Structure 1
Amino acid sequence: MNASVRVLHVDDDREFASLTAAYLEEEHEGFEVESEPDAARALTRLRTETFDCVVSDYEMPQMSGLEFLREARQIDPDLPIVFFTGRGSEGVAAEAISAGVTDYLQKRGPEQYALLGNRLRNYVEKRRAEEERLRGYEAIERAREGISILDEEGRFVYANQAFATLVGYDHDELLGQHWELLYREEDVERVYDEQLPAAANGGWTGQTVYRRKDGDLVLTNHSLSYTEEGELISVAQDITDDERRRLELLEAKRFESLVNAVTEYAVFMLDTEGRVVTWNEGAEEITGYPEAEIVGEHISAFYTPDDAEAGVPAELFEQALADGSAVDEGWRVRRDGQRFWAHVVVTPVYDDDGTHQGFAKVTRDMTERRARENELEAQRESLAAANRMNAILRDVLRRMVHDSSREDIERDVCERLTTDGPYLFAASGDYDEVGHFDVRLASGVDTDAARYVFDHLTTRTAVTRAVETGAVEVQHLDREAIDLEHELVEAIHSVVFVPLTYRDTVYGLVALCSTSASYLTDGERSALEDIGAAAGYGIHAVETERLLQADGVVELVFETSDGGEPLVDLVDDGGTVQLDRLLPIDEGEYLVYTTLDGVSPTAAVEAVSSNPTVSDTTVVHADDDGDGGVVAVTVTESLVTHLAAAGTKVHTVESADGTLRVVVDVSPAADVGRLVDDVVASFPETHLVSKRQVARPVKRTRAVAETVESRLTERQLAALQAAYHGGYFERPRRQTAEDVAETMGISASTFHQHLRIALETVLTELFD
């Protein structure tokens, strides 16, 4: 539906109304949503403005949803009205339906928004179609031909005055009657055996003898065809007397035009050789040929050059003569050279003596319907692929709970994607600075074979791009350019690289070999990226766990004199700064608590606020003499945050005299060389001062801490840590809840919610 859909959303919850409007307008082209929190004002707007449909809550303070529904039905009895409410029960639904609601949906999750949008579009389209149908009835009523419509049981649901006059019945007498009322007994069987099947296969045109109410018989030119909804359209023209028989051919064009207007068919006549004899407006609209230009031309003008040369038109004529009709679907060519998908019915025409006079040809443009069917099929395939990948994601997450090493996680991902997944085989591995993929383990094939395939097929450009962007990368293989005799190579058409990422760190790649040459759907790509992120998070977790459980760690000391480093800017005018706590609060963003000595916190905040990597600053506490205190800084990129995102544990940070010194711990199994190269590449003014093996005592109750962290989301844990380090629990408080929330960039109510859940989790673990 190309026309816009104007929706009135009645809900006293403004935040939910805004969310609903945003989703409908973003996901459904042409939707315009007007939100109204007051039901009484909504009724006033319905009286003075035009809306295509209404979405209403069930429980509202000013007026209940049922009261609003009854008032709205007084204004417009046919307006689509859908209840979209959090309250749900069979009783509520039954009460709403009894009151005349169009539909009833519950606010149960994100999928309901998609369901709501689709149903609103369907109801609006249905109403507009009914209005269009009524307008069509008005045009039909003015027609001189007798036009009637019958339901699927063959009973009259509509007849224009011309048809009622033709058969001698009053209009109301016909409605509800079966068509057999108007036929002689000897003609009924022919209707069932010939006319109705032909009508179902594209349309029937011929002559019918009607029996009028007074018993007289009337001969008509008659046409039957079915609509998409299963209704039968009947168009009849009285040709009883000789004069009307003589005018039959002259009136054929207008008669067929009316048939076309009702059924969207182009109907025209051909002579015995296949040349156009008559033309109508529907045919001109579909093909682009005006009557003066096409009459006398052969029907092959509408066919593609290949079909015309292959004799397809002649084959249809032969089939029609042999079987009584011929049906075909295929590409046809318009006057301007554009192609359209046509549904065609060809029927031979004979005179009263049985002499072949030519052919009746009925054509319908099915291009849009075919495109919709292809689109729906593609959507179904895409949804099935996405569902398959999401099922794999859920299974990988379930398996990762029990994994205790990086190798376990990578093996689970590879095996799940190849055992039940759509890929021939998979391998995980590392990459070097020039993009070489080094296979560590494989699934679906042995490791040596996997190394052989990736050494000879994959491009380093694809590997490098996947690592640099942190996104799924697809390499389609040029089959003609591959000169390798290996059964695996011959089966592979594309390779998909999935980076295993956690924040800014890429822990490695999973490479998937596919027998398909098609591109990934958005759903498949999204699911693979989620799998990569889940695996990256799992690897980060087990590496961190290994670091915490190790008897010793590797301590690295970095120093930088980078003038853009925000922690250096804090004490640019003298003094020192030490790191208290580093909290991840958003994707790529950290909240850094620091203690200043020998510098005013206010002056430090002013000095660092102009740094482009700093998005927010807060003075948490200032010493009485104003020569020190605690400052919170929200940064997006710095040496400290880069090291934290790379999987290290930042141990100590000190800044003085323009130099920042950072001490971090890494696992003894970590690739220190790669870490140092990455840091220096990102921060050229940085260098490694020292590296040594040290013992770090565990400073917390591990069982409680691990359980709490596993049960809290990152946001909940960050809220608890920000409250603690921001002085929220001190007496007197250094920061209020509003201050801490502002520092984190969230609302106070959201902060309270996160903090309450976090505290409850901690206390439950301690005391239960």
Structure 2
Amino acid sequence: FGGRWYRIHTLPVRDEDGDVFAAMGMSQDVTERRTYERELERRVRQQETAAELGHLGLEGYDVDELMTEAAERVSAVLDADYCKVLDLDAESEQLLLRQGVGWDDGVVGEATVSAVEADSQAAYTLASGEPVVVEDLATETRFSGPALLTDHDVRSGISVVIGSSEDPWGILGVHDTDRQVFGDDEVTFVQSVANVLATAIARHSGEQALHRQRERLAALVNLNRTIREITDAVIDRSTRKEIERTVCERLAATESYEFAWVGDVDVASNEVPVRAEAGTGDYLDDVTITVDPDDERGQGPTGRALRTGEMQTTDDVDISDAHDPWRDHVEEYDFHSSAAVPITHADNTYGVLNVYARRPNAFEGQEREVVAQLGEIVGHAIAAAERKQALMSDELVELEFRIQDLFGALDLPAEPRGTITIDHAVPVVGEDFLVYGTTTPDAVDALSALVETLPHWDEVTVDEDASGGT
């Protein structure tokens, strides 16, 4: 009555015959006792909730599921409309609403708040390193509140740091649309849940690191064994095609990698056709890769590896822009990292070996060094096979070379006009040759400049033929 609690005692009053003819009542004000009991029940419920969440964390509960469970229970225990877990991205200075309850559809997993701007309660909490309690956001002077809170009509709440103030992981916040006065017990409860989450996150990160370390060690052992097998196998292969196919098959057969393929450059189109593949399925179908630096399809690992002669790796395909030209195609396949290894020997580049792994960051440290050696091993094997084939063959092999921007590469002043054709080379004395060919009149100056620049060319004589040509 009147906001207070009373305990009523009644007793019957009987006459001489034992019949009840009246009642006697007594009331006792138990408001303080009732308030204490309810407060005690609240504390017990808070402690039980924190303990249960801690037990779930120890059982290896999925971290995101634990975050969702924590948000639901904190909201229920404090009778609040919203609860959220914010994940800090220090590089972008943003906090992602990773898990939560009560928010509008499409907010969880998408909405962000600033980790540094003055209007953010979360930013203020990170900066202070202490729990922040808001009784009425409308009259709050420390910050105005970000759109995430104002758009949901939030008036009161608590926010605490998940993790240490020196190295925070994020923020746990609970909010209500009514004005609430949160006491020390509520703050302690929210902080306890945040500590549970911090412990679970740290354990999960540690387990992930250990798992990655074991995967990397197993991959390194498999890779070293595969390298030995490849080295032994390619020695027995007599053609370049067999060598490239063997390398791809051995790599795709390991537990460490998903698939592999070899490509080289088509000088006419600047595209990179596939020479050998294993385990690729339909991955390379309808995929065009070039070495043209002005084409976005030449900005991927394969194009860069062929242009620079250096190994190119992608640590996480999901967040790297290296595979953007083929993003829709890439997302259909279960790999997260890749390596493009130039196949080289001496000054020759035979192509590029591409290897793909399901593990993110697969090509780091020792594994990167070992994979890089594959390019040299395969290049040496191809060179040896081609030398052996040339020595044992009685066929004449005609080679056609295409040199792009020859005059620019030699820094020649003459403009490369017309056509210069070399038809025959006849040995004369020792290592000297007499070279015959033709040139159009507008290319004579360019030919003369070429002879003056190249040290192994001594002189040139141009004769005009009867038709006016040269």
Give TM-score, length-normalised by structure 1: 0.27
The one of the two structures with greater contact order (alpha-carbon pairs below 8 A, sep at least 6) is 2
TM-score (norm 2): 0.41
